[in-house]
A and B are shown apart, each in its own frame.
Chain A
Amino acid sequence: MKIIVAIKQVPLRDSHFRIAASGKWIEESDLSFEINEPDAYALEEALQLREKHGGEVIALCAGPERAQQTIRDALAKGADRAIHIETQDLNALDTLGVAQLLAAAAKPEQADLILTGLQSDDLGAGQTGVVVAELLGIPHSTIIMQAEVRDRVIRVKRELENGWFQHIEMPLPVVLTIQSGSNKLRYATLMGIKKAKNKEVKRITPAELGAESSAAAKIEKIYAPQKSKQTQIFEGDPKAAAAQLVEKLKFEARVL
């Protein structure tokens, strides 16, 4: 089975964000980056399916030069090869623009399965996988916890709201968006890291993919969220803060 995993590099979850001078995005120069968490689960699912069914796992990533690190990490964990779509500024594209690049790069591979995370930790649009499926003309399903393949048919466990689930069957090829936490993530081994150095990373530009597009939905301004509540914050010495809080809960909120 040939499996493509679309992965994105995003700032570390615990980053402290500063707004860039343009006011339209964050200042990226002082941030560290990692694989988008749900994409890490998509990669894990792909590696497990390959272990069961044989075949090949291809990591597909659109992003600037720094995304090489995330690609190397995916190869070290066990992806067989990678395709890096080199885009200087991913934010100049909207979801459709990015999906067009990914679809154009995926198409010649004729993969049986394309996996990606259900959303990204930065934009959180939650659409890339679905749009890629539509552009490739293949079926999809989202928020997937498990996948089983038998005779060119895939049966997936999809998460619904409030603790409900559902199984869905589809004929391959398909695109699935994978939910976080569905598997235990593996670590790269020393051997894996060594092997990764010799694995193929094909670099390709948007122009070569013939999929240059501009954004239909533009970010005009980015800013700190407005508070919906007046929050009383206690800072400083933990003991004093704790005592103040207990006082407030007892005499102001009257909930103790």
Chain B
Amino acid sequence: MSILVILEQHNGQWHRISWETLAAGQQLGVALGLPVEAAIAGKGVEGPASEAATRKLEKVWAVEHDLLEQYTADGHTAAFEELIRKTQPSLVLFPHTYQVRDFAPKLATRFSQVLVSDVIAARNDNGLVLVRQFFQGKLSGDIRPGGSPCFASLQAGAWRADQLETGSAAMETFVPTLDASRIRQKPEPPFRETARAVDLSAAGIIVSVGRGIKEESNIPVVRELAAALGAELAASRPICDAGWLPMERQVGSSGQTVAPKIYIAVGISGAIQHLVGMKGAKTIVAINKDPNAPIFEVADYGIVGDLFEVVPALVEALKKAKG
């Protein structure tokens, strides 16, 4: 009985949710009275593993194999399946990354379990209770997992890496028995589509537009607000997918991460993939007709109303304030 935390790194670079997940593991270890171990898979991962071993943990596993040099769903699943069968944890925690989304459900299936994904909180209430969001963040729900091991992936930002306790852990190398012929994905090197001409991370004020704008021909409504504020214009993903604004103006997990003084979200619902890109803004303003839109959960100021009335009124008010 233990907790196993799976860490993620790429070419020696940590995925930052790794540390948040490790902090969650430590806290759940205390809450559930279980020892906590961590594991990291790849080729040449002793370095990162020894770094992880400076945290308060029982043990860190360096899951080492030439075939793990590049991530594949088949390779990672097989490697972690073997480690889990050996170490028999009762809870396996992952950072909720794109990579984890790709292999952890497959791994859980090997144990006739499901992955409880994108978890935002956890507690011991006569056993483990995991909290996750439903309906794109409009509702939350408590999940009581059954069976062992329980697999859960944790949302970015839900736990704090700065609460990680330091210590010293034993390190052990684990070499899984992988077979090249059973790894069916042949990955090519990652690439970026285009050079980014716009760096939104330097912007002081951002006006960001979402699907509430309805049509491309309405974009001038928010353009005018941006002009009145001297702000950069940004958008949620569907706006860029539709080509109403260029891709390089997309904010979120698959776009840019921004931290302006003011972020004004206009007609954006506040899906987690958007929030992770702008939660760091100093002051967040949301304009949305739905009082239950999740964007209001992170907003400092909100106007509930129709953006087609509110935004022009705001432009007026700004002009007046400038005098």
Contact call A233/B296, Cβ cutoff below 8 A: yes
Taking CB atoms, residues of chain B closer than 8 Å to A13 are: 136, 269
14 additional contacts, CB 8 Å, given A19-B139, A181-B237?
A: A96-B114, A123-B134, A125-B118, A127-B117, A134-B109, A139-B74, A161-B254, A164-B192, A217-B145, A220-B144, A234-B302, A241-B310, A253-B282, A256-B262
Question: How many B residues have CB within 8 A of the partner chain?
Answer: 89
Contact call A126/B117, Cβ cutoff below 8 A: yes
B317 on interface, CB distance cutoff 8 Å: yes
Q: Can you offer 6 A-B residue contacts whose CB atoms are under 8 A?
A: A15-B135, A139-B184, A162-B253, A166-B189, A242-B314, A243-B317
Contact call B317/A130, Cβ cutoff below 8 A: no
Contact call B101/A224, Cβ cutoff below 8 A: no
B-side interface residues toward A, CB under 8 Å? 73-74, 97-98, 101-103, 105-106, 108-110, 112-118, 129, 133-147, 184-193, 196, 205, 229, 237-238, 241-242, 247, 253-257, 261-262, 269, 282-283, 285-286, 290-292, 294, 296-306, 309-310, 313-314, 316-318, 320-321
Write the A139-172 contact mask toward B (1 if CB under 8 angstroms, else 0). Answer: 1111100000000000000011111111111110
Please report the C-alpha to C-alpha distance between residue A123 and residue B26 in the assembled complex, in whole angstroms.
28
Closest 6 CB pairs of A and B: A181-B241, A127-B105, A139-B184, A242-B313, A130-B105, A238-B309
A-side interface residues toward B, CB under 8 Å? 11, 13-17, 19, 26, 94-96, 99, 118, 121-127, 130-131, 133-135, 139-143, 159-171, 180-182, 215-235, 238-239, 241-243, 245-246, 248-250, 253, 255-256
Taking CB atoms, residues of chain A closer than 8 Å to B109 are: 96, 99, 130-131, 134-135
Please report the C-alpha to C-alpha distance between residue A216 and residue B114 in the assembled complex, in whole angstroms.
7
Please report the C-alpha to C-alpha distance between residue A129 and residue B145 in the assembled complex, in whole angstroms.
21
Please report the C-alpha to C-alpha distance between residue A126 and residue B253 in the assembled complex, in whole angstroms.
16
Contact (A218, B143) CB under 8 Å given A238-B310, A241-B305, A242-B317:
yes
Taking CB atoms, residues of chain A closer than 8 Å to B318 are: 246
Please report the C-alpha to C-alpha distance between residue A256 and residue B282 in the assembled complex, in whole angstroms.
12
Q: For chain A, what secondary structure do more than half of its interface residues adopt (helix, strand, loop), or is it mixed? A: mixed
